[in-house]
């Protein structure tokens, strides 16, 4: 049967863009469909606009720190509209860049929402398209918990378009997105209350990261309500009243509520059943399967052999560089005759909180559980960075290595402190190459720096 395309990609986000351009570079006839702005979550409503907001929010503490260095105090004021307009313009510019890159690569761009009709056919509005292979790269969306009045809450998507800067923001959720927005908005001068179900932030990260970030945030003035859930949100004349249950039961009134309790793949309207693509725990050979995501094997192949899926809709490791790498590995395998899978181990990642945190590899808890206490050795230091000796702030940096004591291999590196993400990227190369503690020990530090802590740990 003759198909319209060799490859049809659903979703022009990180994974879809990377896969479509790589497949086209091998001579495949490729089309990509996008229902929103080209660029996906990362460029349009995730990493990029968020990081721009992080930069913007850091100025307030820098202005204060400068006073300790002899600068006079300045009267500061954030123009919310001006910031949001600048961020929005940059997002649109990036979307244009991605669109032009598709054109240059020879990938046909179709605007609209795609749904499966069968394993080789999709409908996009009135149009029907057929393809030999189909890649699903539809990403995810914020999950809204089923509580009364949740429609009054905003999600991370809305945070870049709020008409006014919130005066008092409540954030539901202690994952990295909730934590990052708490710090961003606190930096802008918004009063922030973060409500978390458990007794600690950032589940899944090393305990020392969670503790250091949380205590830093509390020290800055963010109020954290642990072991507490929101059971109801209702509009009142003063704003939104939150009914709470758990450790804190006194109702809270704020003007904005951000729901950041998790994300779920965008699969509801895709009609996957018509294509024979399974969600959740598929056959046991399907290495990656979570309850609400597309089940795939290590080559991103779904239960339907001609259909593949990459990125957040497979819920493997929901990060942009991972989606990009999965997309490229898929295209190399299917169109470039280079069968390859990517490793989801030793992927570095950061939390752009204030203080910032970054990590790679195993947490101490995971290492102890898998290898046993006697095999795992941890090295850790916490200190006040030189910068804060004059700023006067009680800010601490934390550096930690998790080591396999038998082989001396470094299993995990964790850091909290300024520029942690930039520092961890270099660590990631060494750790991916199998660096040992001895390799770190014989590396000389850069003095004076925070990062030298990684090579002076004893």
> Residues interacting with ligand FAD, by CB under 6 A?
10-16, 33-36, 40-42, 46-47, 50, 113-114, 137-139, 156, 177, 266, 270, 311-313, 318-321, 323
Known active-site residue 419 = no
Our CB check for ligand FAD shows the closer of 312 and 332 to be 312
Nearest CA to 327 out of 345, 339, 311 is that of: 311
Q: Which is nearer to ligand FAD, 12 or 225 (CB)?
A: 12
Query: Which DSSP category does 73 fall into?
Result: P
Q: Helix %, strand %, coil % for the chain, to 5?
A: 35, 25, 40
Nearer to ligand FAD, 206 or 312 (CB): 312
Residues 6+ apart with CB under 8 A from 44: 36, 37, 91, 94, 95
> Cβ closer to ligand FAD: 142 or 376?
142
Residue 115 Cβ, how far from ligand FAD at the closest point, in Å? 7
DSSP-assigned beta bridge partners for residue 402 = 378, 412
φ, ψ dihedrals at 310, nearest 5°: -135, 165
- Residue from 92, 98, 344, 447 carrying the catalytic annotation: 447
Residue whose C-alpha is closest to residue 234's, from 163, 165, 170: 170
Residue whose CB is less far from ligand FAD, 378 or 431: 431
Residue nearer to ligand FAD on the CB measure, 134 or 367: 134
Residue by residue, DSSP assigns 37-69 as STTHIIIIISHHHHHHHHHHHHHHHHHHHHHHT
The count of other CB atoms within 10 Å of the CB of residue 451 is 19
**3-state SS class at 161:** coil
Determine the angle formed by the axes of helices 47-68 and 80-105, rounding to 10 degrees.
Answer: 140
What gap in Å lies between CA 107 and CA 34, rounded to an integer?
13
The distance of Cα 377 from the centroid of its chain, to the nearest Å, equals 29
Catalytic residues: 447
């Amino acid at each position: 049967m003759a198909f319209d395309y060799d490859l049809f990609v659903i979703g022009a986000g990180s994974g879809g863009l990377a896969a479509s351009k790589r497949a086209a570079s091998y001579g495949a006839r490729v089309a990509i469909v996008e229902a929103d702005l080209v660029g996906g979550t990362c460029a349009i409503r995730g990493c990029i606009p968020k990081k721009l907001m992080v930069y913007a929010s850091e100025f307030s503490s820098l202005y204060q720190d400068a006073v300790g260095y002899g600068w006079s105090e300045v009267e500061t004021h954030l123009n919310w509209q001006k910031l949001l307009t600048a961020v929005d313009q940059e997002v649109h510019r990036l979307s244009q860049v991605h669109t032009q890159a598709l054109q240059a690569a020879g990938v046909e761009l179709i605007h609209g929402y795609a749904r499966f009709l069968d394993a080789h056919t999709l409908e996009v509005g009135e149009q029907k398209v057929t393809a030999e292979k189909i890649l699903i790269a539809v990403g995810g969306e914020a999950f809204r918990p089923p509580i009364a009045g949740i429609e009054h809450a905003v999600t991370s998507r809305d945070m870049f378009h709020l008409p006014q800067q919130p005066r008092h923001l409540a954030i539901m959720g202690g994952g990295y997105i909730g934590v990052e927005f708490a710090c961003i908005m606190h930096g802008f001068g918004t009063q922030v209350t973060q409500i978390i179900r458990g007794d600690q932030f950032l589940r899944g990260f090393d305990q020392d990261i969670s503790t250091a970030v949380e205590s830093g945030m509390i020290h800055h003035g963010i109020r954290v309500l642990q072991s507490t859930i929101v059971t109801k949100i209702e509009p009142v004349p003063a704003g939104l009243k939150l009914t709470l249950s758990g450790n804190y039961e006194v109702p809270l009134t704020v003007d904005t509520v951000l729901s950041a309790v998790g994300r779920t793949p965008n699969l509801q309207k895709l009609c996957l059943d018509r294509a024979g693509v399974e969600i959740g725990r598929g056959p046991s050979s399907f290495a990656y399967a979570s309850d609400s995501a597309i089940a795939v094997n290590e080559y991103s192949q779904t239960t339907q052999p001609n259909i593949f899926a990459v990125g957040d809709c497979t819920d493997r490791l929901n990060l942009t560089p991972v989606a990009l790498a999965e997309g490229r590995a898929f295209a190399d395998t299917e169109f470039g005759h280079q069968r390859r899978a990517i490793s989801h181990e030793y992927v570095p990642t950061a939390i752009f909180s204030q203080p910032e945190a970054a990590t790679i590899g195993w947490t101490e808890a995971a290492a102890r559980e898998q290898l046993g206490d006697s095999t795992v050795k941890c090295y850790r230091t916490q200190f006040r960075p030189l910068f804060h000796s004059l700023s006067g702030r009680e800010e601490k940096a934390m550096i930690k290595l998790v080591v396999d004591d038998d082989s001396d291999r470094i299993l995990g590196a964790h850091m909290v402190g300024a520029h942690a993400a930039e520092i961890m990227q270099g660590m990631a190369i060494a750790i991916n190459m199998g660096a040992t503690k001895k390799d770190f020990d014989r590396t000389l530090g850069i003095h004076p720096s925070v990062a030298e802590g990684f090579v002076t740990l004893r």
